[in-house]
Amino acid sequence: MDGFSDADFDALWRYFEQTCGVYLKKHRPVAALSEADFDLAMRSIEDAADRVDEASAGSVQKKAKEADLMKKVESVRDGLDQAVSGDKQALSRVFADRGCERIGRLRLVVDTVQLEVYHTDPRWKHLLSKCSTIEAVLKELGAFRPWKPSQGSGHSESLLRRAMVKELRHRHGEADDLPEEEPPATGGYAAAKQVEEPGAPYVTQPLPEPEPASTGLPHAPLIRSEQEESEEEQEPLYEEVAASKVHAAQAAQAKKFEDEEVTDPNSVRASAPDDCYDDETSRRLRYTHPDSVLEGWVWKRSRFLKRWRRRWLVLLPSGLRSFKYRGHKEPTESVQNGSVMRVYSADGEVQQARCFCVVVRERNYYMVCDDETQKRAWMLEIEKVLCHR
């Protein structure tokens, strides 16, 4: 392999693998850490992470891209180990330079790349551990500075997009950490929680009737008139009326969430008050179609006005449909099976965390979920059911 540099190894390895099935093996270099070596390795990790995020969720290509990223991670592992176990001043010289840009770039990538298969890989966990250790050493030396990429400073669009996605997730995490005693925001799902006890079902409980005061006299035999007996016979009827009033109140409350619009879908949950089931079995009992693959609440962006509206999303073998509320007969949108060209994460594109996009020939459908687990589930199932190549 004379005449080639170390930077050509990836291209050569891919060429021999694809054309003749020969796998090149690179000799493990002696562990060393320098500014130039780390910058070169960091660029290769960033490029590999971008390819992971661009691959379709659940696809074979995504798994292969993640495996390639793990090889890049392994290539810098020994250097990071030596930096952590060596002289702290040498570590500070490498990682505190330019406002801690090197460790900042590495932290930005590991916090935003979307891994599906290798997120529990020992090499990945090792990298996360070394990032935290390096940051701790820099803080101990007083050299740590929070780093963010900026426009016009030569940083790539990929880093700027990752910084935006990380900021959105950070803001959402701060909203989730509010204590239960905090007064919720007005409007939407937060307003409904004002009348709901934490962990209790969304039902208005009747107040207990007071017990009659004791007079201290011996109990006299109870003599009931015909009118009292008649009223006792009508008690079941009163209970039915009370129950119907409770159901009517619940229906009126649920009506408030029909077709609701918000400007910031990250600040208000899409799940309605009656959707308080966390486990998958209980959630499937709420499904409205017997053959549905996945159902749930999302925020969907309108086509022309770009407004976020609450929708009950249903994935069927025949297509993807959205409804104003659970159980509604007429869908607001319908995507047929085989028409989906691509499904991808669109957090940076619409500046909203937990957003995914469904691409068809005519338009793009943007949806925001309540958490990352739901987002990954929707992307995986839509790709599996509706995308045919």
How much is the pLDDT for 319? 93
Find residue 315's DSSP bridge partners.
294, 320
Buried b (16+ CB within 10 A) or exposed e, 322-343: bbbbbeeeebebebeeebbeeb
How much is the pLDDT for 255? 57
How much is the pLDDT for 180? 37
How much is the pLDDT for 246? 52
Instruction: Find how far residue 223's CA is from the centre of its chain.
Output: 66
How much is the pLDDT for 355? 94
Query: Rounded to the nearest 5°, which phi and psi values hold at 312?
Result: -90, 110
- Domain containing residue 364: 280-386
Does 168 lie in the same domain as 36? yes
Strands (E), the chain: 261-262, 294-301, 308-316, 319-323, 333-336, 342-345, 355-359, 364-368
37 found inside a domain: yes
225 found inside a domain: no
User: Is residue 319 a contact partner of residue 337, using CB atoms and an 8 Å limit?
Assistant: yes
248 found inside a domain: no
215 found inside a domain: no
How much is the pLDDT for 320? 95
Predicted TM-score (pTM) of the model is 0.43
How much is the pLDDT for 283? 65
194 found inside a domain: no
Does 162 lie in the same domain as 43? yes
Does 167 lie in the same domain as 287? no
Domain boundary among the residues 175, 204, 229 is at 175
- Compute CA distances 261 → 240, 283, 291, whole Å: 35, 24, 29
CA nearest neighbour of 175 among 358, 370, 342, 381: 370
The residue with tokens 């017990």 is 211
Token pair in block for residue 130: 């070394």
Its sign, for the CA torsion 305, 308, 313, 315, is positive
How much is the pLDDT for 17? 81
User: What is the number of domains present in the chain?
Assistant: 2
DSSP state of 324: S
How much is the pLDDT for 198? 41
Does 163 lie in the same domain as 298? no
201 found inside a domain: no
Q: What is the mean pLDDT of each run of 10 residues along the chain (389 residues)?
A: 80 85 67 70 88 87 90 78 71 83 88 88 86 86 85 74 83 47 38 38 43 46 50 50 56 61 88 60 74 92 88 93 87 90 90 92 92 92 84
Length of the chain: 389
How much is the pLDDT for 213? 46
DSSP state of 208: P
211 found inside a domain: no
How much is the pLDDT for 221? 47
Domain boundary among the residues 160, 175, 190 is at 175
Domain boundary among the residues 175, 200, 219 is at 175
Query: Rounded to the nearest 5°, which phi and psi values hold at 153?
Result: -110, 15
CA distance 69 to 46: 9
Query: Rounded to the nearest 5°, which phi and psi values hold at 169?
Result: -65, -35
2 found inside a domain: no
- Compute CA distances 27 → 6, 30, 164, whole Å: 11, 9, 38
